[in-house]
């Protein structure tokens, strides 16, 4: 698929069907499934998507696979808090932008923790995951947080390479963290993302990404 104009923006209620589809294919063992209607009302949670501004999706294009498997406590906690941050009205399927990927994070005090980042499996290796990571870092800085942390499977070499490229370093190891196969998780963290050195490096990476993929980055509006 070729894209006319990709845009990183906040997730809306009208995106939930597509995000849920992407989520369940990327994380098939997550149980219970994430309730994104609740997540968009959580004052700690922030979600972004990569959307194609000139492509829309029809109802037949959204196919949500049945959920199975188990997850840890975090997936349950994410559904407990409520506060209405969004006022977007529901949009008919025929008018919905095509969602290529999504990401989410929590912010507590001056620290953000990435809880999800996923791309449609048909769009791997197109720079979309990296674009989402750029969007997260940009939005976290706007929200006045300074540090970003995450967990990643020890076997996920592609993700590890991407995170290291953007300044994440290993700060710990969570043994048996993943419920499906008891795989260990590497805990990673950035330095202060508001520092001049980090921002200068980030700008270089943004420009390199744009040159490689032809996707300009526009600041995500809070």
Residues 6+ apart with CB under 8 A from 70: 29, 31, 179, 180
User: How many angstroms separate the CA atoms of 196 and 163, rounded?
Assistant: 19
User: How many angstroms separate the CA atoms of 162 and 99, rounded?
Assistant: 21
Point out the catalytic residue in the list 124, 151, 207, 218: 151
Q: Which residues is 7 bridged to in the sheet?
A: 51
What residue has token string 């999800």?
116
Point out the catalytic residue in the list 36, 47, 163, 166: 163
Distances (CA, A) of 145 to 109, 167, 221: 7, 16, 15
> Strands 147-153 and 111-119, how do they pair?
parallel
Verify whether residue 163 is a known catalytic residue: yes
The set of catalytic residues is: 151, 163
């Amino acid at each position: 698929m070729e894209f006319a104009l990709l845009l990183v923006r906040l997730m809306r209620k009208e995106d939930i069907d597509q995000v849920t589809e992407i989520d369940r294919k990327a994380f098939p063992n997550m149980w219970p499934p994430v309730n994104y209607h609740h997540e968009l009302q959580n004052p700690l949670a922030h979600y972004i998507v990569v959307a194609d501004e000139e492509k829309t999706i029809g109802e037949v294009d959204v196919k949500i696979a049945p959920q199975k498997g188990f997850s840890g406590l975090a997936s349950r906690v994410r559904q407990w808090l409520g506060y209405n941050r969004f006022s977007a009205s529901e949009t008919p399927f025929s008018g919905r932008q095509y969602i290529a990927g999504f990401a989410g994070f929590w912010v507590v005090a001056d620290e953000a923790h990435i809880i999800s980042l996923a791309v449609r499996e048909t769009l791997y290796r197109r720079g979309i995951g990296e674009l989402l990571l750029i969007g997260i870092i940009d939005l976290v800085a706007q929200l006045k947080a300074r540090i970003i942390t995450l967990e990643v499977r020890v076997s996920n070499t592609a993700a590890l390479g991407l995170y290291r490229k953007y300044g994440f370093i290993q700060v710990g190891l969570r043994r048996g963290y993943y419920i499906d196969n008891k795989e260990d998780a590497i805990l990673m963290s950035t330095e202060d993302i508001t520092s001049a050195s980090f921002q200068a490096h980030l700008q270089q990476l943004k420009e390199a990404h744009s040159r490689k993929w032809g996707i300009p980055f526009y600041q995500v509006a809070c």
